[in-house]
Chains A and B, each alone.
Chain A
Amino acid sequence: MIIASLLFYLFAAVCIGSAVVVVTARNPIHSVLFLILAFFNAAGLFVLLGAEFLAMILVIVYVGAVAVLFLFVVMMLDVEALAIPDTLKRNAAVGAGIGFVLVAELVLVASGWVSGGGTGASVLAIPGDVTNTQALGALIYTHYIYPFQGCGLVLLVAMIGAIVLTLRRRPDTKRQDVSTQVAKPRGVRLVKVPTGSGV
């Protein structure tokens, strides 16, 4: 139990610390790298909760695909370390005020939190004889089928949107059309090329 608690505090502390660095780092590459660190630690928290499937998904999808894509984009854009623009400085007081209100509200909310009494005993969400993946599948395809399919539609909209806003049909680009190539009047001629002499 003590080890689990220690691990929890380790993962949580590193996760929060790296999340702060993601926002404050001047160099965007560093931001993305710290984001990956935050993902790994969140995955660790999931493992502690007994949700190993979610942990693996987080690592495979977010670290393996999303963050790497981020890294590609950031490197391709060649973003310089950004100087803080003047407008940001001017609005800093307003931002700080809103931030203060939000923190005060969070403190209010946290004061309403009633501790369950147990110390560090993680609650297993599912009975021991069913694996995580099975339990998720059984829920997603029955109880949550409606929002699940809705998510599918949202992703479809994202795909359509990306195509609509970026795909341009350029009439002047040369495309290879295999069927017209093959159906040329002269047809296809097979040439046996002797070794060492070329065509």
Chain B
Amino acid sequence: MTPVVFLPALPELFLALASLGLLLIGVLAAPERTAKGIPLLGALALAVTLALVIQAPAGRAEAFYGMFVTDGFAVFAEALVLLAAIATLLAGLRFNAWQGIDRFELPVLVLLSVTGMLAMITANDLISFYIGLELQSLPLYVLAAFKRDSARSTEAGLKYFVLSALSSGLLLFGASLLYGFSAGTSYEAIGHALVQPDAMTAIGAVIGLVFLLAGVAFKLSAAPFHMWTPDVYEGSPTSVTAFFAVGPKVAALAVFARLAFGPFSGLAAAWHDVAWLLCVASLVVGGFAAINQTNLKRMMAYSSISHVGFALMGLAAGTEEGLRGMLVYLGVYTFMNLGTFVVLLGLGRDGAIAESLSDLAGLSKTRPGAALALTIFFLSLAGLPPTAGVFAKMFVLLPALHAGMPGLAILGIVMSAVACFYYLRVVKVMYFDEPGLPLDADVASGTQQAIFALAACVVLFLCVIPGPFLSIAGAAAHTLFP
């Protein structure tokens, strides 16, 4: 037997070992030292992993007998996930202490979940994909319920767990059908069997594909598999919601793209339809359902559903240009969405999280910096100039037009006009309403403010110098098109 190749998987192995090490330190060290030390060490481990990911030799490399693959596409998605995880760990420090959830298990679970996301992104086999998916999801259930004395938090955890278990079942059912009709679990074997499928194989494989993608769409919270999203976003502690909003979506979309352009390239018509349907449903549901929300976290949940719809629009186009658009969109989404949640991490009133729309009234007078940053993020989320949001939307709308889907592009434009209403309403409340009760002063911290200021700068200035970012995303998308 040939010896095992593991070097390309070095970042994943390092992160897994680092989380085990942090777990040991957390168990053995004194509790008052782990509360702050473990999150910082965790962020350091994630930063080292990020460096390992970026420094890896360019080009495609397989490891573990073809179970694992890394390429430019994987590096791009992994870098986004790691950046988001580092930012949430650092920005959530003060918030977690304030909410009494600053236990050392939280960063350890975040690290393990990120390990799962990296494993998903780099999976080259249905088995390693599924293990990565479960390693990603299981810590998320626990994190959602982490504030275990709060009924809403435990409800969020339980709801996510039950629905997610069902979706995992659907996904496995689809995977077993694919295995049955292609006699292989590796992406290459499936792709090979489905290049020119006969009629009978095609029916079975398409049903398998639909079930598999339904499971992925659940993790992506794309409509019509979005039911859990608002409750889980609202019930989870905000520091966890911030992590929820970015990492799992990037990982799930990366898996979707890798499956679509790899093993399922022989069934292009089938997955195009699935992506199209998810895209339309997510745009409509996310756009209209957010209008009536007065809770900011719920509103952001619906907003994230609609943004997933936009990212899927790039994928639905099915071209290299579309995939680049999806990656650009994901990059911009990471910064603007994370930035919004990091601002919310610093707002509290009377020991409770300030999360309703009225809590933001007059924020421009009490916290001008936070109000300005939120305005930038909301303008970007709405897709208004001069922010990165408008630029990201352009990069998914144009491929849809070029691929002959003008209807989809028009729907996207209409829905972003609808979305403008609820984003700008928040801006109006912040700038033109009178301030209510004062906000707690001790929730905001320097790190948290620095992180949202940095994110706001990226969102604001990405339009000015888009070149490097675009070429990185373009090169990453190109690796899936040999």
Contact = CB atoms under 8 A, between A and B. Distances in A.
A150 B177 CA distance: 23
A25 B57 CA distance: 58
A147 interface: yes
A102 B207 CA distance: 10
A158 interface: yes
B181 A112 contact: yes
A143 B66 CA distance: 9
Interface stretch (A4-12, A29-37, A72-80, A159-167): A159-167
B29 interface: no
A100 interface: no
Contacts of B141: 161
Interface in B184-205: 200-201, 203-204
A163 B134 CA distance: 19
Contacts of A144: 67, 127
A151 to B, nearest CB: 6
A176 to B, nearest CB: 21
Interface stretch (A103-111, A121-129, A184-192): A103-111
A23 interface: no
Interface in A137-173: 142-147, 149-151, 153-154, 156-158, 160-161, 163-165
B108 interface: yes
Contact of A146 (B1, B64, B105, B134): B64
Contacts of A158: 138
B308 interface: no
B207 A105 contact: yes
A88 interface: no
A144 B1 CA distance: 13
A142 B44 CA distance: 32
B96 interface: no
B62 to A, nearest CB: 11
A165 B145 CA distance: 8
A142 B6 CA distance: 12
B176 to A, nearest CB: 10
B245 to A, nearest CB: 21
B76 interface: no
Contact of B142 (A105, A111, A147, A164): A164
B131 interface: yes
Given A108-B207, A157-B112, A150 B128 contact: yes
A145 B128 contact: no
Contacts of B204: 108-109, 112-113
B211 to A, nearest CB: 9
A158 B105 CA distance: 12
A161 B142 CA distance: 6
A149 B177 CA distance: 25
B109 A151 contact: no
Interface string B133-149: 01100110110011010
A145 B67 CA distance: 10
Contacts of B116: 153
Contacts of B132: 150
A83 interface: no
Contacts of B128: 146-147, 150
The 5 A-B residue pairs with the shortest CB-CB distance, nearest first, are A112-B200, A150-B131, A161-B142, A146-B64, A112-B204
